[in-house]
Structures are given as structure tokens and as C-alpha cells.
Amino acid sequence: MPKIPASPATDTALSDHQPGAGQVKMTAERGNADELHQMVAAGADAAAHLTDNFGHRISDNQNSLRAGERGPTLLEDFVLREKIFHFDHERIPERIVHARGSGAHGVFECTKAIPGLTKASILQKEGASCPVFVRFSTVAGGAGSVDTPRDVRGFAVKLYTDSGNWDLVGNNIPVFFIQDAMKFPDLVHSVKMEADRGYPQAASAHDTFWDFIGLMPEAMHMIMWAMSDRTIPRSLRMIEGFGVHTFRFVNEKGDGKFVKFHWKPVLGIQSTTWDEAVKIAGADPDFHRRDLFEAIDAGDFPAWDLGVQVFDETFAAKQPYDVLDATKLIPEEDIPVEIVGRMTLNRNVDNFFAETEQVAFLPSNIIPGIDFSNDPLLQGRLFSYLDTQKSRLGTTNFHQIPINAPKCPFHNFQRDGMMQTLVPTGRANYEPNSLAEAGENGGPRASAETGFTTFAANDERNDPAQKLRIRAELFADHFSQARMFYLSQTENEQAHIASALVFELSKVMLEHVRARVVGQLRNIDEDLAKRVAAGLAIDLPAKEKAARAPVDLKPSDALSIQKNADDTMEGRKVAILFAEGSDKVAIDKLKGDIKGAGGTAFLVAPKVGGIKVKGGALKADGQLAGSPSVLFDAVASILTEEQAKALSVQSAAVQWFMDAFGHCKTIAHDEATQILLDKAGVEKDGGVVAIDKFADVGTRRHWAREAKVRDLA
């Protein structure tokens, strides 16, 4: 079989490396993984012969083999049997959490070498790079749910380094609901569909979740984040990522420091409003998935800067919280985030199942220079993830699936198992062995000099003789950082949190659960608790007892989306409404201005296809009823008076402007559009401007308008 050149996507695959002593290798008869990949890819060629899975050419893929024209189907039809057999087994168990995900390939590049802090190979030299695969996900919903529920977003990064795979498996929120992995099954059971009725799907607004939360005060900091706009993001390209846990950096000397990892989006953070998120779910259930795919497909590659917060035991000991507590964060004002690299996603997956669905992330996948801390939640994850991959992917050999395989050589004595696809050679499948003395290949050996060694001077470690089911004293402070987060928000963001709590708790039918949660909120902020109680029309309940009295921490502006909002047009999408007779020159100029500022213009019209306009003809990118304004960051309108009058009796057009105004977006319009704006109840303000003023206000939100359009708690 001739050698088929490797594609750029696979030119660093495991099989390209020359096998060394004891290394697993493919036999010549089978070819290597790249050749098999290329052979499968060649099947997309219309001229390729259709075959079964064993290479037998198929003469008819439309009709089963029968005994006569109207006779029974014959069991000997191996083509039919294989096709149906494979179809019956196409699905694998979906992830229990993070089931709905979107993935993409990219590259990570070190922009600031930090050899003094860590011996991690990828951070030793400025310009060093490695491939990455990233999977974003929602947590609570199943694989068939929607993209925009109020939910935490998973942010899992697999870095294929020359030292092995490093999986940084985190979320878009830096803290978590619980402190100990023992409680994870309970948390997930509570937020998932209720056991007796199978709903609600992808929603936390129901009895069992809030019953659990009301009894778990350690979750209240996370609840502040979960009820904030962080959980209704505008785009996966505009979310932060966090490693959540405290990890260790270890340098060549063996010196160690604590580290927390941050991914900062180059496009900035942006959210939707709750009303938008709900309407987007109906307009486009795949809104985030589509947005990520189309941006990469268009060459607008999303990027994140990798930042680290590095600190030592002395700093940790001085804090009024425990750095090993996953429900706590370290304010950026105390330890600034130092940027050390940039990750750019530049290639969509070739096959969703083979890559996004089969990718297996393991928090235990670390490389020399990175180590674990004694965070009890992290410790539980180190066990859980390996176990779940076997359950989902059906075999201990899941690491051989291309998306999971390292892009550096690997050598060990692990053999056999279900779906073994490699062919080990020689008889050395154990060690120690002395086969080399007989002239045979004895296989690989451990290396104390270059191998991974656990940090030896771990001051966080208790006496090894002590094995206790206990948490450190500072873990009992559940409210100080929750208060800090709430007080760090703008007034508008605080109103969003209060309104989110009212919405969620209004779905809770158990009155004592509502009262308990509001009682917990009193430990965070009295005004917040009063607002939520008023929104629920209940008396302010007694304050729930705190296990440890909260302390007042200095607010952190870094925790607010709106305080860090960027007026950039980059990565944003602007809809331009036009119709028959609209001015093409004006439309082209506006499109050019948007593109020049780094944005994307999307033409919307009552009809798609060629439309006669002043100065020529234009094709719409989307039809009005199918392109609601919730899908865009700002809207503009260039219409004739006649068309504006005609659209003013069309509910889709009126709602288009009503929603844009209600969601505090910029509305740029010509004089004729005023007819539609009046019908939609759009009032003049700093975000409702003439077309020629659009560049001055851009796509930023106009939050001062919100009080005019909705009641907030």
C-alpha cells in the first residue's frame, strides 16, 4: 500500500514518531494511523468506491437482498447486516454533566517564559507552541438541550505538549458550588431533571436544586456568580476560563509555589440579558455552537490569553480564606494575573463525534512542572474522570482515539484490553526484566532525572499518619467572598442578580426552601435579601446561621462584566434591516464602517434573494422573521418611508426593534424608520441614534435604559 502524505492536521500524530525501545508501533501490513485517516477521508471523494468496513466493494446500497421480488430478506446479506449493526451502536453514553459541548482545534504559544517558576516545557521559552483542543459546554442539560440556558460553561483545554498531554479542565467561573467531591453526585442529582418527572431540562429553577442549595451554605458564593450575567454569555468567544482549583508550579530546583490559571478572552467578556437568552433559545437553539463555528470558518479566530496568579504559603496563610477551598477565589487586586501565553482556535473539527464527543479530558493529565494541591474537590476529580472515560468510551484504550492520543512518543508495558488498535512487538510486557542481557528488546525504564516527581516540600500536607474526614477551619467561611462578588458589581448587575434569584425561586414550589435561601442571602447582603423577598412577595425570613462569621473584603472591579466592558466592535455582529428601495450606497458605507472596525454586518430583509434597491440590487443574509434582533449585538435600519409603513404592521418588524430597545442595544436608523420605532415604543436616548452616528456609539449596551423597559428586583 503506497504511503499517503500526512495532512497538516495530523502531521504530528503519534505514528509519525520513530519507535524506540519498547515503543508501541504499527506493523507495515496495517499502515500507520495517518494512512488510515487519509483512507477514510478519501471516502468523501465522489469517485471513491463504496465499500463495507472491510473493504468489500458494494454494488447496491439501496436495496436489501431478497428471495424474489416480494420475498423475505435474506440473512446472508452481509451489507445490510453490517450497516444496521453499526447504526444500532452509533451512540455512546452522553456525559452525565457537560453533555452539550462545542469543540475546536488551535495552538497555544508561550508569550512570556517563566522558567524560574515552573519547569513545564511549554512555558520555558517565549515562542514555544503546541497544538490544543478546546471543548466548551453547558453543565446541566443533556446533549439535545439548547445553548443559552442560565448555566455554568465548561472550559476544558487539552494541550498536546512535547512532555505529554496537559488537560486544564475548568469552567467560566473561578469558584464552584461545593468544597468536597463527596457532594458532587448530590449536587448534580439536584440540578438535573427531577427524578419522578424527568423535567425541567437544562434548568436550575426548580425545587430540588434550590432545596439542596438552601441546605449548603458553602454554595452561596457560586450562587452569586450563577445568578449573575456570567451564566448567560453572549458568545463562547467572550467568556473567561478558570482552572478553578489551586495547583502547583514546580521549577527545576524543586521549589514550588501555588498557582491559579485564568483564560482571558481577547474579545473581552460579554453577556446577554435573560430575556434575550430565552428568546435566542427559540430563535436558534445552536446559537453558541453556530457562532463559534462560523467565526473560525470566517477566519475570525477567537483567542484567549493564559494568565497565572502565583503565590506562596506565606501569602496563603495570611488570607481570611483557605486557598485550597474551591468555593473561594483570590482577588486580582491582591495577586495580579500575569499573562504568560496566548491560545488561538483556528480550525473547526472535521467530525463532531470523533473529536468533540469522544475527547476525554482528565484533570490528572499534568506535565512535569505542574502539580496538584490538596484541594479536596480536585482530589476527587482526579479519581472520577478516569473512571468515567471507561464508562463512556467502553475501553481502557480510549487514549488511542486520535483526539485523545498524545503527539509525543509514549512507551509502557500496558497491553491488550478492548479495542486495542496498536500492535506491540516483542515479549517484554513486564518490568523489571533482563531480556536485554539476552539481546532482546527489554522495553523502557523509569528515569528519576527526567520523569514526573510529586512536589516534595509540600507545606500544605498534614501529618501522613492523620487520616480525617474533616475540613480546615477557614473552609467554613461561606459568605465573605459571596458578599465581595455582589458588592463588586454595578447597580445594574446587582439588579440582574436579584432578578435572577427571584425568577429561579419563583419556580420553587416548596415555600420553606424559598425562605431558607433568602435567609442565606441575608448573610451576603441585607439589601439583596430584601429585594428578593419583595420580588417573591414573602416576609423577610430570619437570617440563617453562619458556621463562621463573614468578614468584609475589599470589592474587586475585576469581578464585574460591565466595569470591564470594552467598546470594541471586534467580533460583534450588527444587523442592517433594508427593503425594496433602500439606499445601497448608505448600506455599503455602513457595512464598510462595521467591517473596518472589526465587526460583521448581516443584512436582514423581509425577503431573501435579490431585492431591488436604490443604486442596484442586494441579497439579504437572513429573512426578517428568521433573524430576530436577539441574534445580534446592535441593529441598524435603512428604509424608505413606504417600506417602513408597510413593516409597521408586521409583528416581526415591530418586535425586532422592541427587543433591541428592551435589550439595551444600539439602534441606528434613518429618518424613515422613525415610523417603526414609534410603533415599537422606542424612545430616544444615547443608544438610539442616526445612521451617521453609529460609529460613535458602537455595539456597547446602554444599561441606563433598562429601568424604562422592565422591572428589576
The dihedral built from the CA positions of residue 96, 97, 102 and 106, taken in this order, carries a sign that is negative
DSSP character for 356?
A: I
- pLDDT number for residue 465: 56
- 3-state secondary structure string, 600-641? EEEEEECCCCEEEEECEEEECCEEHHHCCHHHCCEEEEECCH
Phi, psi of 351 (to 5 degrees): -145, 120
Residue where a domain terminates, one of 370, 400, 430: 400
338 falls within a domain: yes
Residue 463 is predicted with a pLDDT of 53
Phi, psi (degrees; rounded to nearest 5) at 99: -70, -35
Whose cell is 453543565? That residue is: 139
Is omega for the bond preceding 432 within 30 degrees of 0, making it cis? yes
Residues 596 and 590: their CA atoms lie apart, in Å, by 10
Note whether 134 and 167 are within 8 A (CB). no
Q: 269 vs 231, 326, 558, 633, CA distance in Å?
A: 12, 22, 11, 13
Annotated active-site residue in 32, 105, 165, 171: 171
The whole-angstrom separation of Cα 456 and Cα 248 is 11
Full residue range of the structural domain in which residue 301 is found: 101-400
- Please, which residues have CB within 8 angstroms of residue 37's CB and are 6 or more apart in sequence? 7, 10, 13, 402
Kind and range of the H or E run holding 304: strand 303-311
98 belongs to the catalytic site: yes
Q: Which distant-in-sequence residues (6+ apart) come within 8 Å of 462 by Cβ?
A: 468
Mean pLDDT per 10-residue section of the chain, whose length is 713 residues:
34 34 34 53 66 89 89 88 87 93 98 97 98 98 96 98 96 97 94 95 96 96 98 98 97 94 97 96 97 97 98 95 97 97 98 96 94 92 88 90 90 85 86 84 83 69 63 94 97 97 96 96 98 97 96 96 91 96 96 95 94 94 96 97 95 97 97 96 95 92 93 92
In 370-524, the DSSP E strands lie at: 370-372
- Collapsing DSSP states into helix, strand and coil, what is residue 166? strand
Q: Given the DSSP bridges, would you call strands 256-265 and 241-242 parallel, antiparallel or unpaired?
A: antiparallel
Largest CA-CA distance found in the chain, in angstroms, rounded:
94
Residue 360, class by beta-carbon neighbours within 10 Å (0-12 exposed, 13-18 middle, 19+ buried)?
buried
277 close to 145: Cβ distance less than 8 angstroms: no
CATH assignment of the domain containing 703: 3.40.50.880
- Spell out the residues 6+ positions from residue 196 whose beta carbon is closer than 8 angstroms to its own: none
User: Rounded to whole angstroms, how far apart are CA atoms 501 and 534?
Assistant: 11
Write the CATH number for 116: 2.40.180.10
- Picking from 368, 400, 432, the residue at the C-terminal end of a domain is 400
- Of 32, 37, 98, 348, the catalytic one is 98
Extract the C-alpha cell encoding 18. 520513530
- Identify the residue whose cell numbers are 428568546: 279
Peptide bond into 19 cis (omega under 30): no
Give yes or no for a contact between 136 and 145, defined as CB atoms under 8 angstroms apart: no
| CB contact set of 290 (below 8 Å; sequence gap of 6+) | 284
Report phi then psi at 348, rounded to 5.
Answer: -75, 160
Instruction: Give domain status of residue 383, yes or no.
Output: yes
Residue 235: inside a domain: yes
Residue 542 located in a structural domain: no
> How many domains does the structure of the chain reveal?
2
Tell whether 474 is covered by a domain: no
Let me know: does 93 contact 324? Beta carbons within 8 Å.
no
Residue 183's SS3 state is helix
Whether the upstream peptide bond of residue 200 has omega within 30° of 0, thus cis, is yes
- Total residue length of the chain: 713
User: How many Cβ atoms are within 10 Å of 127's Cβ, its own excluded?
Assistant: 8
Does the annotation mark 171 as catalytic? yes
CB 375 within 8 A of CB 246: yes
- Whether residue 411 lies inside any domain: the answer is no
Distance, in Å, from the CA atom of 594 to the CA atom of 51, rounded to the nearest integer, reads 49
| DSSP type of residue 462 | P
Position 486 in a domain = no
CB burial string 148-161: b at 16+ within 10 A, e below = bbbbbbbbbbbbbb
Q: Which pLDDT score is estimated for 181?
A: 92
For residue 540, the Cα-to-chain-centroid distance in whole angstroms is 37
Please give the Cα distance from 481 to 449 (Å, whole number).
Answer: 42
Buried b (16+ CB within 10 A) or exposed e, 292-302: bbebbeeeebb
The per-residue pLDDT for 86 is: 87
CB 341 within 8 A of CB 118: no
Q: At what angle do helices 511-521 and 526-536 cross, to 10 degrees?
A: 160
DSSP assignment letter at 358 = T
Domain termination site, one of 400, 418, 435: 400
Any residues with CB less than 8 A from the CB of 560 and at least 6 apart, and which?
Answer: 488, 489, 490, 493
Is 210 within a domain? yes
User: Residue 596 has what pLDDT?
Assistant: 94
For the record, the C-alpha cell of 119 comes out as: 519547569
Angle made by CA atoms 439, 445, 451, in degrees to the nearest 5: 160
